[in-house]
Structure 1
Amino acid sequence: MEKKEIFASIEIADHEVRLVVGEFYETRFNILRVEKAAVTGVIDKRISDEQNVVNGIIKTLHQAQEALGYRIERVLLALPSVNVQRHNRRVHVIPQESSKRIRLSDVQKALNEAVSYKPDEQVELVNVGCIKYIVNGITSRKIPIDEVCDILLMDVDLLYADKDIVYSYARCVERAGLEILDVCLDSYASAQEAAVFEQTVDKYVVLVDISRQSTTLSLFTHGKLANCEVLLTGYGSWMERLLEQTNLSEHVGFRLLQNTCTFNETYAQNSVIYVWAENGVQRQLTERNVCEMIAPMVRNWLNTVNEACAPIIENGDVQYLLSGEGCEIQAIKDVLDGLNAPWNIYVPQTIGARDCSLTVCLGMFYSWKEQQKIRADERVSCAQQDVVASVGSVSRRMKSNDDEGGFTKKLKSILLNDK
């Protein structure tokens, strides 16, 4: 029987830290725990208050560890797709002369040569993207272990991101007492979870990640991440007028957007959807009130996305795939036909994590499993002996309860006490 491989992933979003713990067991992937903690130390994808973010990470970490019963030692970390650069390197390696068979060490040697490339002092390597193996003139994406050839060629996509941002995010995680297992661009992780790479053989896909402060547009084509652009406008801008006129908190504003209103002014009704008291005076909002304040802001956001993607739309078959926390707002479907290309919304289907805001955290698990094959890295997020001890403790408690049912045990206790 295969051992359980437990991993934890962290995304430092613009208003909260998200931690997901999952396990690969035989052929299954299971979610063990999801934790979130509010933070205020991130502005426009950059860390503005390091201690605030560190405290948020520690809070989610302690909550998860308390629930699971074992310590999380290392994590997968998502990094924002800011100033992303893509570079392609072709490298080669000659297999051992006696057998001419390709070994894993040959692939690792070629990959190490590729990742040593440094295009700019202002960026840092984050992801090894698409790898194509060329053996005897045949191109494949499958690692050609044991294939016979004179020379192995590899086309390697390398994805770099802003160096200052990479180190500031990594520093927060390390200050929280965690080791970083690997890093991954948030756009790349989302694409892994949503199977975007498989959809781009003959068309373009623009992945639209809607967060509170920003919207990240990522262009994918021919199974590769081609480009990223961050628009400094997110679903938070839709709420600006509402919050200014009502003095409600962002949390309440998001709840109103998420569940109780429509963005279609034609169908908005005068029914009351929210009542609260301010300075001893009762106030209320109708669905039409909220719609009239929000719908124009949403249309402005749509126009911004359309303008940013217009050159791509003109040059090929394009589809939008939307994800991120903004897609938790049900009414967004009312206005997406205003986009200048066909669209779809991706909602994760993993039990325990069916939340659009968790797309990045989920995608990091699959990205890491892909890299494991080449790296031959068997590290996990938790010490195996701690996990075994925790599971054993739970099993013993369950067995103890099963030996004498809970109700029977209580009844026996009452009768004995009466005597």
Structure 2
Amino acid sequence: MSNSDIIVSLDIGTSKVRAIIGEMKNGAINIIGVGSADSEGIRKGAIVDIDQTVTSIRKAVDHAERMVGIQITDVYVGIQGNHIALQTNHGVVAVSNEDREIGEEDIERVLQAAKVVALPPEREIINLVPKQYLVDGLEGISDPRGMIGVRLEVEATIVTGAKTAIHNLMRCVEKAGLQISGVILMSLASGVMSLTKDEKSMGTVLADVGAGATTVAIFDQGSLAATSTLPIGGEYVTNDIAYGLRTQTEQAEKIKLKYGCALVSDAAEDQKFKVVRMGTNIEKEFSQVDLANIIEPRMQEIFHLIREEVRRLGYGDKVNGYVLTGGTVMLPGTLGLAQMELESSVRIAVPDYIGVRDPSFSSGVGIIQYVSKHMKLRGGGGGSKKPAGRKSGAAAAPKPGIFERLKNMFSEFI
């Protein structure tokens, strides 16, 4: 990458759309702009209304642009959902250089070879993640560039998704007037931001508890081993509050953010608030303990379902801890409740950058870190000559159609 590049991530969630602008300067990342907008047109992590989603994306991007004073043209988009699947594959090539030194071209060819896999017509490759390279049978190599060898192999995890979901996501971003530099699995991005090298090696569950869905990703032996999406999240807590206090959902969300506590034992009886009851103008007073009695059972259920899903994926006894992220885990008392329910070591991951020190930004910041770490080595991605996101002559050129670009994108992407 050049010594100063702009990387823009787009995290399209159920409650918020977030655009984050990261600047890569001499190998270090600085977050220079953040834009967010209420998410319309998304239910349980899936797009249900394209026009509303386009409006939300545009608002978030405009917000970020105003903060920094540049025009965003290119973005990396995060994707998640229960249509995501993982499979492993192997690629083998002969080293092409006469002196048998492995170069960029050889790595590119072996990754392309690993992408040759039989897929049903309704599925498409999203990401390819090398687990290890082998040079003449020598295992455990993370970067074979510059090594001498005759035969180069790669063991890789292929991330696939439903074409419909991918195309709808891309259509929304294109209709918002943006070019897509790449589509990245949220779990991979969050893993780069949230987990240490040891946590990835020893077996750790990364649970991203969003508003409409919870994504469970299991990292083992240094890479993503399994992922799954549960259709439950912070929205369900809000709905329970609205039902329990008989108030509007919008009011319930504000009460949750201001007075919410996930543990009854941590709540204060003397912390009082008033709620306008639905269908009347009458206000009724409640305490934080009343509110915690509604929140705790639902949060318990979320953690119970996470634990059951880890068991279903076959990792019940193989995980050494849980890392929580996502907007819902911000509720006070969540960590204590999670430790009791999951019966394991638990911590909450928060991005360590000014302006985004909040678990809800983990995926967006993770995308920027993932791009800077994994795509600078390859032909596509963040190593463009013009900084992605700054207006230039290249951005004014006519855009090819979405399906033509879809056809070519993944060969450039990795």
Normalised by the size of structure 2, how large is the TM-score?
0.86
* Corresponding residue of 1:324: 326
Q: Aligned pair in 2 of structure 1 residues 100, 15: CA closer, same or farther (>3 Å)?
A: same
Q: Deviations over 1:358-411 (max 9, x none)?
A: 11111111222212202265224223769xxxxxxxxxxxxxxxxxxxxxxxxx
- Aligned 8 A contact 1:19 1:34 in 2: yes
- Aligned 8 A contact 2:46 2:81 in 1: no
**C-alpha distance in structure 1 between counterparts of 2:142 and 2:300, whole Å:** 44
Amino acid corresponding to residue 319 of structure 1 in structure 2: G
- The CA deviation at 1:41 is 0.7
Amino acid corresponding to residue 114 of structure 1 in structure 2: A
* Corresponding residue of 1:94: 94
Amino acid corresponding to residue 138 of structure 1 in structure 2: L
Q: Superposition pairs for residues 38-77 of structure 1, below 5 Å? A: 38-77=38-77
**C-alpha distance in structure 1 between counterparts of 2:241 and 2:260, whole Å:** 12
- Aligned 8 A contact 2:35 2:62 in 1: no
* Corresponding residue of 2:130: 130
- The CA deviation at 1:320 is 1.1
Identity of aligned residues (%): 20
- The CA deviation at 1:180 is 0.3
Q: Aligned pair in 2 of structure 1 residues 97, 164: CA closer, same or farther (>3 Å)?
A: closer
The DSSP-based 3-state class of the residue aligned with 1:315 is: coil
Work out whether 1:354 is the aligned partner of 2:361.
no
Amino acid corresponding to residue 382 of structure 1 in structure 2: G
Work out whether 1:344 is the aligned partner of 2:343.
no
**C-alpha distance in structure 1 between counterparts of 2:47 and 2:239, whole Å:** 22
Work out whether 1:234 is the aligned partner of 2:239.
no
- Aligned 8 A contact 1:128 1:158 in 2: yes
Work out whether 1:185 is the aligned partner of 2:188.
no
**C-alpha distance in structure 1 between counterparts of 2:154 and 2:275, whole Å:** 63
**C-alpha distance in structure 1 between counterparts of 2:172 and 2:392, whole Å:** 27
- The CA deviation at 1:313 is 5.4
- Aligned 8 A contact 1:272 1:284 in 2: no
The DSSP-based 3-state class of the residue aligned with 2:376 is: helix
Amino acid corresponding to residue 231 of structure 1 in structure 2: L
Q: Aligned pair in 2 of structure 1 residues 115, 49: CA closer, same or farther (>3 Å)?
A: same
* Corresponding residue of 1:375: 379
* Corresponding residue of 2:203: 204
Q: Aligned pair in 2 of structure 1 residues 47, 150: CA closer, same or farther (>3 Å)?
A: same
- The CA deviation at 1:199 is 1.8
RMSD: 2.3
The DSSP-based 3-state class of the residue aligned with 2:150 is: coil
The DSSP-based 3-state class of the residue aligned with 2:161 is: strand
* Corresponding residue of 2:255: 256
* Corresponding residue of 1:244: 243
* Corresponding residue of 2:302: 301
- The CA deviation at 1:119 is 2.0
Between structure 1 and structure 2, the one with the greater Rg is: 1
Unaligned runs of 5+ in 2: 394-414
* Corresponding residue of 1:404: none
The DSSP-based 3-state class of the residue aligned with 2:294 is: helix
- The CA deviation at 1:138 is 2.3
Q: Aligned pair in 2 of structure 1 residues 235, 63: CA closer, same or farther (>3 Å)?
A: closer
Q: Deviations over 1:235-276 (max 9, x none)?
A: 222232320243444454344334424333345443243224
- The CA deviation at 1:21 is 0.6
- Aligned 8 A contact 2:34 2:67 in 1: no
Q: Aligned pair in 2 of structure 1 residues 180, 385: CA closer, same or farther (>3 Å)?
A: closer
- The CA deviation at 1:215 is 1.2
Unaligned runs of 5+ in 1: 387-419
* Corresponding residue of 1:12: 12
**C-alpha distance in structure 2 between counterparts of 1:106 and 1:232, whole Å:** 42
- The CA deviation at 1:226 is 1.7
Q: Superposition pairs for residues 26-37 of structure 1, below 5 Å? A: 26-37=26-37
The DSSP-based 3-state class of the residue aligned with 1:308 is: helix
**C-alpha distance in structure 2 between counterparts of 1:297 and 1:67, whole Å:** 37
- The CA deviation at 1:50 is 0.6
* Corresponding residue of 1:285: 286
Q: Aligned pair in 2 of structure 1 residues 302, 102: CA closer, same or farther (>3 Å)?
A: closer
- Aligned 8 A contact 1:259 1:330 in 2: no
> Structure 1 residue aligned with 2:368, among 357, 365, 368?
365
For these two proteins, the number of residue pairs brought into alignment is 385
**C-alpha distance in structure 2 between counterparts of 1:178 and 1:158, whole Å:** 26
- Aligned 8 A contact 1:173 1:180 in 2: yes
- The CA deviation at 1:59 is 1.0
- The CA deviation at 1:198 is 4.3
**C-alpha distance in structure 2 between counterparts of 1:17 and 1:310, whole Å:** 31
* Corresponding residue of 1:108: 108
Normalised by the size of structure 1, how large is the TM-score?
0.85
**C-alpha distance in structure 1 between counterparts of 2:174 and 2:126, whole Å:** 17
- The CA deviation at 1:178 is 0.4
Amino acid corresponding to residue 347 of structure 1 in structure 2: V
**C-alpha distance in structure 2 between counterparts of 1:365 and 1:134, whole Å:** 28
The DSSP-based 3-state class of the residue aligned with 1:354 is: coil
* Corresponding residue of 1:150: 150
Q: Deviations over 1:204-246 (max 9, x none)?
A: 2111110112211111111121221211111222232320243
- Aligned 8 A contact 1:130 1:223 in 2: no
